[in-house]
Amino acid sequence: MPLAKPRRTLAPTDIAERFFCPCPRGLEEALARELAELGLRDAAVVPGGVGFSGRWQDCYRVNLWSRIASRVLWRVGQTRYRNEDDVFRAALALPWPRWFSVDDRIRVNVSAIQSPLRSLEYITLRIKDAVCDRFREAEGARPSVDTAQPDVRIHAFLTDRDATFYLDTSGEALFKRGVRQTAGEAPLRENLAAGILRLIGWTPEEPLFDPMCGSGTFLIEGAQMALGLAPGGGRRFGFERLRTFDGALWKRLRADAMARTPGAAPRIFGSDVDPAAIEATRRNLEAAGLQDVVQVQIADFTTLTPPCEPGVLVANPPYGVRLGETGALQQEYPVWGDALKQRFSGWRAYLFSGDTELPKRIGLKASRRTPLFNGAIECRLYEYRMVAGTMRRVPKSGDADPTETASGG
């Protein structure tokens, strides 16, 4: 009887591999800059993400330190195809048993742009069958499928003629930092919040205030950025299940990250009119070890006094898709505009919204509008520079959009 294969086999860590990091659409350039700061100089930006070449230590570091990437996918194969059989044969030819164990539970995800194949569900099943058949040929057994809590995630991306296969080195999506204890009604994903903070140019030297903080996503991301804390320091990763895993290397990289001296304490403030939201924020801050870094209070944005000297205000206010109360919100937005004009002179204010109509009600002229996507929802990030003497007007029927930038952008 042949000896059982070892659970782990180490691959050389000095061989360059190809990786791809998907991210929220609209944040690709911000992610490329972040990867460059991590020492990766050959980033290739495409719609929906950034590709890069690197060694396994680079893969581990991106998983540990990236605040914007949704995942880090390891490219293991690519082929031209014309039909489902071509994709099946390409998947069958890949040495899956060399990369993970038959005891690992798998999940296959397929996405496509302009693919001629009629059913992504069917090709997902064919790829799964190919992986299982390869294991059965090599080891006489096949891995189990677990779509809820898989050990190994396999991704395939189809264009009109190419099929690319990936193994997911992240496991759970990277926006799951491992610290959120309580979510609000419509929480902002952590990597989208971090990307927004980069886009607006906030620095830890400036005060940061979220007057509609919900469960505290902007506050926690800002505090971790200011302190220099690794966003992945409190979670596990998919690469720990792969046969390529270098445990000693990962232990060193993680220990170095945990040993870093935190940056200076930032001035970060949050408020919300909902007591339950503030309680959720406090629980999440405590879980992240940031309860002494961020100050929060129950307060109504329309009447509160700014918590400090002018800085950066950022908020994800309610909108119709989020709460289903568009009619009531049409009355709220003009009041929020009045609050900004009357009490936040000198601030840079940013509102993120998935509704392109409600921000028109705020009555302030946006200096910039940035398209972003929150999942499948097309959104806008509106910038308002609250200089002294800012004027507000209530839009009339037929008026041009007052949130258009001065340059028409």
Axis crossing angle, helix 190-199 with helix 217-227, rounded to the nearest 10:
60
15: confidence class by pLDDT, cuts 50, 70, 90: confident
Higher pLDDT, 41 or 402: 41
Tokens 């507000």 sit on residue: 392
Residue-wise pLDDT tens digits, 353-404: 988 888 888 999 999 999 999 988 899 999 999 986 544 444 444 444 434 3
Query: So what's the pLDDT on residue 391?
Result: 44
Closest CA relative to residue 32, chosen from 51, 47, 17: 51
| 241 Cβ neighbours under 8 A, 6+ residues apart | 100, 104, 151, 152, 171
Task: Report yes or no: 49 and 171 within 8 Å, Cβ to Cβ.
Answer: no
- Return the domain boundaries, the chain: 17-168
Closest CA relative to residue 375, chosen from 185, 88, 175, 204: 175
* Number of Cβ atoms within 10 Å of the Cβ of 51: 17
pTM: 0.89
Residue-wise pLDDT tens digits, 199-225: 999 999 999 999 999 999 999 999 999
Query: So what's the pLDDT on residue 341?
Result: 94
Closest CA relative to residue 315, chosen from 218, 186, 384, 171: 218
Cα atoms in the 13 Å half-sphere on the side-chain side of 127: 28
Q: Which two tokens stand for residue 119?
A: 């059913």
Q: Is 76 a residue whose pLDDT tops 90?
A: yes
DSSP run (H or E) holding 157 = strand 152-158
Query: So what's the pLDDT on residue 8?
Result: 52
103-117, 316-330, 364-378, range with the lowest pLDDT: 316-330
Query: So what's the pLDDT on residue 272?
Result: 96
| 74 Cβ neighbours under 8 A, 6+ residues apart | 17, 18, 19, 59, 166, 167, 168, 169
Query: So what's the pLDDT on residue 72?
Result: 98
Higher pLDDT, 7 or 216: 216
318: left (phi over 0), alpha (psi -120 to 50) or beta: beta
Query: So what's the pLDDT on residue 120?
Result: 96
Q: Which amino acid is at 371?
A: P
Query: So what's the pLDDT on residue 185?
Result: 61
252-256, 294-298, 352-356, range with the lowest pLDDT: 352-356
Distance of alpha carbon 106 from alpha carbon 147, whole angstroms: 7
Residue 176 burial by Cβ neighbours in a 10 Å radius (0-12, 13-18, 19+): middle
Task: Report yes or no: 260 and 195 within 8 Å, Cβ to Cβ.
Answer: no
Query: So what's the pLDDT on residue 376?
Result: 86
90-104, 228-242, 307-321, 369-383, range with the lowest pLDDT: 307-321
Distance of alpha carbon 88 from alpha carbon 73, whole angstroms: 20
Query: So what's the pLDDT on residue 327?
Result: 67
Query: So what's the pLDDT on residue 390?
Result: 43
| Class of domain 17-168 as given by CATH | alpha beta
Q: Which residues pair with 313 in a beta bridge?
A: 209, 349
Q: Which amino acid is at 306?
A: P
Query: So what's the pLDDT on residue 332?
Result: 86
Q: Which two tokens stand for residue 356?
A: 């392109």
What's the chain's average pLDDT? Answer: 89
Task: Report yes or no: 351 and 359 within 8 Å, Cβ to Cβ.
Answer: yes
Mean pLDDT value of segment 65-78: 98
Query: So what's the pLDDT on residue 356?
Result: 84
Query: So what's the pLDDT on residue 6?
Result: 47
Q: Is 182 a residue whose pLDDT tops 90?
A: no
138: left (phi over 0), alpha (psi -120 to 50) or beta: alpha
Mean pLDDT value of segment 305-318: 94
184: confidence class by pLDDT, cuts 50, 70, 90: low
Q: Is 229 a residue whose pLDDT tops 60?
A: yes
Query: So what's the pLDDT on residue 5?
Result: 46
Q: Is 81 a residue whose pLDDT tops 60?
A: yes
Residue 84 burial by Cβ neighbours in a 10 Å radius (0-12, 13-18, 19+): middle
Mean pLDDT value of segment 284-312: 95
